[in-house]
Amino acid sequence: MRRSPFPFFALLVLLHVYIGARLLPAIEPGLIGGAVGVLLLAASSVLVPVGLGAPRLKRRRWSEPLTWAALIAMGYFSSLLVLTLLRDVVLAVLGLAGRLTPLVVHDSAVAVPLTALAVTLVGFVNARRVAHVVRVDVPIAGLPPSLHGYSIVQISDIHVGPTIKRPYLNAIVNRVNALKADAIAITGDLVDGSVRRLALHTEPLKRLSARDGAFFVTGNHEYYSGAEEWIVEMRRLGLTVLINEHVVRERDGAGVMIAGVADFTAHHFNPAHKSDPLAAAAGAPEHVQVRILLAHQPRSAEAAAGAGYHLQLSGHTHGGQFFPWNLFVPLQQPFVAGLNRVRDMWVYTSRGTGYWGPPKRFGAPSEITLVRLVAA
């Protein structure tokens, strides 16, 4: 049975009412200013749900500008709510300390929407620029000399869809190819939408070029968007899709295995895609001396370490994308970003190359990651 969206919408309206009740009386904007404030909050309470449903909006002449407005409103509302809550905590502390004054109440109420606006504008610029290259050296014990410096470019969580289109992806492909890595890995959440709607915009992936190939594993958003169709499309574009399987590439008799698993939650959508790092390594030849796993979620790391991998490349977290969501990522994932260790295996978690939902990144810059294997 499909759940009614009414409770969510009701909560959203109540949160907007809370913001208005806490800020507008303290600002004392006057009759006209107060009416404008109420109208803006009412518009936001309508636009935010539209932003959440943006990947499913039907194509109309007005759908694209509406999508942009809704997603920007979503990002602004998020910061506005957090800052309003934070202001209330600060005011409560000052009140208990006997230091609360009318000036503090007024100025803090003015500062909240202005700060939220500044964060949203800076976050927009950060999100829309082409991701910078982050270079990471991963020390591998017993690495053969012929594999020293072996490089993989990782891109992840691009989310081609409502606001990320062909030109954005084209710029990413240009930057990836310029790095001239040995291999390219796309670690899931490439798209937010169907092949029918987005095939034109993912076409630049056909130009990805690396000596040992370009590889793709599914993320959770592929399963929201028709994973089976996207797997076929990725193969059409020349990518090697790894669903609990591996390939081996050699340098002077030393083998590096690049394996991939479906998303950690894939079995909920397709039982045949149940993520299995051990199965992905099955049948690997004896001369394989480095085992690398591509897995969308860092949660795959425990099973991957038990299966004997040396390195796992993951994404999913976006590094939190913008404050305060980075504080909540550890509730679901073992790592937020960067290079970490699980027993004898390294895990690198990308902050993502695009963004999801609001075009907003603050404190969690996007990245194209150049991973190099080096001798420990």
Q: What is the pLDDT of residues 108-160, one digit of tens each?
A: 999 999 999 999 999 999 999 999 999 999 999 999 999 999 999 999 999 99
Give the SS3 label for residue 265.
Answer: coil
- Tell me what the mean pLDDT of segment 293-318 comes to: 97
Of 295, 306, 374, 299, nearest to 343 (Cα)? 306
Q: What pLDDT, on a 0 to 100 scale, did the predictor assign at position 50?
A: 83
pLDDT(1) > 80: no
Residue 234 lies in a domain: yes
Place of tokens 């190819």: 177
DSSP run (H or E) holding 371: strand 367-375
- Tell me what the mean pLDDT of segment 214-236 comes to: 97
151 and 106 part of one domain: no
17 and 101 part of one domain: yes
CATH number at residue 307: 3.60.21.10
145 and 21 part of one domain: no
DSSP run (H or E) holding 289: strand 288-294
Q: What pLDDT, on a 0 to 100 scale, did the predictor assign at position 374?
A: 97
- Tell me what the mean pLDDT of segment 334-356 comes to: 97
Q: Provide the residue range defining the domain that includes 90.
A: 6-128
Degrees, nearest 5: CA angle 229-202-353:
110
Give the torsion through C-alpha atoms of 58, 2, 47, 126, to 10 deg.
Answer: -80
Q: Rg of the chain's alpha carbons, rounded to an integer?
A: 23
Residue 26 lies in a domain: yes
Place of tokens 């004896």: 286
User: How far does CA 157 lie from the centroid of its chain?
Assistant: 4
Q: What pLDDT, on a 0 to 100 scale, did the predictor assign at position 323?
A: 81
**Interstrand relation of 367-375 and 132-140 (parallel, antiparallel or unpaired):** parallel
Residue 1 lies in a domain: no
pLDDT tens digit sequence for 267-291: 999 999 999 999 999 999 988 999 9
57 and 144 part of one domain: no
C-alpha 161/C-alpha 246 separation (Å) is: 29
C-alpha 256/C-alpha 196 separation (Å) is: 36
120 and 146 part of one domain: no
Give the sign of the dihedral formed by CA 42, CA 33, CA 112, CA 71. Answer: positive
Q: How many CB atoms lie within 10 A of CB 244?
A: 21
Buried/exposed 343-357: b ≥16 CB within 10 Å, e otherwise: eebbbbbbbbbbbbb
Residue 64 lies in a domain: yes
Residue 299 lies in a domain: yes
Could you say which of 128, 144, 168 is where a domain stops?
128
113 and 141 part of one domain: no
Residue 77 lies in a domain: yes
- Tell me what the mean pLDDT of segment 200-207 comes to: 98
Give the sign of the dihedral formed by CA 225, CA 328, CA 320, CA 91. Answer: positive
Give the number of domains in the chain: 2
pLDDT(6) > 80: no
Give the pLDDT band (50/70/90) at residue 3. Answer: low
Q: What pLDDT, on a 0 to 100 scale, did the predictor assign at position 92?
A: 97
- Tell me the angle at which helices 30-52 and 6-27 cross, rounded to the nearest 10 degrees: 150
106 and 139 part of one domain: no
Give the SS3 label for residue 290.
Answer: strand
Could you say which of 88, 109, 128 is where a domain stops?
128
Give the pLDDT band (50/70/90) at residue 8. Answer: confident
- Tell me the angle at which helices 195-202 and 227-236 cross, rounded to the nearest 10 degrees: 30
Could you say which of 107, 128, 149 is where a domain stops?
128
87 and 181 part of one domain: no
243 and 292 part of one domain: yes
169 and 115 part of one domain: no
Residue 327 lies in a domain: yes
203 and 311 part of one domain: yes
162 and 282 part of one domain: yes
- How many residues are present in the chain? 376
- Tell me what the mean pLDDT of segment 13-24 comes to: 96
Residue 309 lies in a domain: yes
